[in-house]
Amino acid sequence: MLIAQNNISLGNLALILVLANAVASLWLRPLASILISSIAVGLFNWTFVPPRFTLTVDLSEDALLLVTTLAVSTVISYLMELKRQAADRVSTHQIQARIAEEHVQSQQLRNTLLTSISHDYRTPLTTVMSSASAIADQVGRMPTERIGQLAAVILDEVQQLHRMTNNTLQLARLDSNKVDIPMNWESVEEIVGTVGVRARRNHPQRRIEIRLADGLPLLKCDAVLMNQLLDNLIENSLRHSDEDKPLIIQAHHDGSVLHLSVQDQGCGISDAWKERVFDIFQRVEASDAPADGQMRRGIGIGLAVCRAIAEVHGGHLQITDTPGGGTTVSLTLPLSEQPEQPRELTE
């Protein structure tokens, strides 16, 4: 302003002062902004208004200019404060709305969980109780073959309860922001082999094929979680495919990514459900159920747990159609730089 005072009128210089005061009011509260504006107007009077370097004003229009400048700066300060208060109210309302929405979602989740538990936990428990009661009531009279059948039913239902409980607890653990997953170098062949042996033992009537590429690298992961992921995928595929059709587990890599897949030749899944099935408490609706019309057991968290496990390992799950009919669930996992192999000691 000092440089341009000879080329710019006093009124235009006052406009520059108002602009500076307006910018200052963006950060300052009204009282501080008005105080600084008053000091700035006083300095403006001292420096630019004739007679210069005094606080006196000779012309009435100059006095009006100073008063108007201070008044405009004051109004701007209060308007900016009103704007800040309105923004704070909007922010508060948004926070309250978000909290209310989260509360509603939490309540819906709780209701859904209770509904699912009340049905899907009660059903196997009822079966277990009735089978155990039948055995207890007819001790010494029930044929051994019938006892074996009821024991097999009890074992199957208890295994189902065990899977649902493990999935529920694991999902709650993985949803925590503070979860710490221990990662170690693991053999893909050992993980897939262990899961395959367990699946064949639990389902001896099913044909389960394992196809592993040669030279698979080590995978840095949590072996327990990876076992649970594959267990869930295999159990899900076995439940939704015919007993006379094989289940194929495959693994290969392309250098930086490991590809694991579980492939069945069952009823398949519609495109509308290929993403939804990974959401918690989502199960295929009756209209999209298998042709036999039977809805499978479960509370709809198995695949949600699989996705959570894949994500904590930096991976991704995808469902595609198996050529010829059925479903293929593919898991892609990033491969880390392989550890150095220890040198063998030579004599």
Residue where the block lists tokens 């209310």: 100
To which residue do tokens 């009006």 refer? 64
Structural contact between residues 113 and 281, judged by C-beta atoms closer than 8 angstroms: yes
Query: What SS3 state is found at 342?
Result: coil
The answer, yes or no, to whether residue 50 has pLDDT greater than 50, is yes
pLDDT at res. 305 = 84
Q: Mean per-residue pLDDT for 210-231? A: 92
- pTM of the complete model: 0.58
With 0-12 / 13-18 / 19 or more C-beta atoms within 10 angstroms meaning exposed / middle / buried, residue 36 is middle
Burial of 302 (0-12, 13-18, 19+ CB in 10 A): buried
Predicted local confidence at residue 121, as pLDDT: 72
DSSP string, 222-245: -HHHHHHHHHHHHHHHHHTS-TTS
Q: Please report, for residues 31, 65, 288, 334, the alpha-carbon distance to residue 275 in angstroms, rounded to integers and kept in the order given.
A: 57, 68, 14, 21
Q: What is the pLDDT of residue 291?
A: 45
Q: Element (H or E) spanning 263, and its range?
A: strand 257-263
pLDDT, tens digit, 9 for 90 and up, residues 282-320: 666 544 444 444 444 555 677 888 888 898 899 999 999
Amino acid of residue 105: Q
Read off the pLDDT band of 1 (50, 70, 90). low
**pLDDT at 75 > cutoff 80:** yes
Q: What is the dihedral of CA 168, 174, 178, 181, to 10 degrees?
A: 120
DSSP state of 286: G
Domain ranges of the chain: 10-95, 184-334
Confidence label for 241 from pLDDT (cuts 50, 70 and 90): confident
For residue 340, count other CB atoms closer than 10 A to its CB: 6
- In this prediction, residue 295 carries a pLDDT of 44
What is the CATH T-level fold of the domain 184-334, as seen in this structure? Answer: Heat Shock Protein 90 (3.30.565)
- In the sheet that 257-263 helps form, which strands lie side by side, from edge to edge? 208-212, 247-253, 257-263, 327-334, 316-321
What single string gives the DSSP state of each residue in 25-81? HTTS-HHHHHHHHHHHHHHHHHHHSSSTTSS----HHHHHHHHHHHHHHHHHHHHHH
* pLDDT beyond 80 at 174: no
Confidence at 205, pLDDT banded by 50, 70, 90: very high
Average pLDDT, integer, range 256-270: 90
CB 87 within 8 A of CB 40: no
The DSSP H or E segment spanning 194 is: helix 188-202
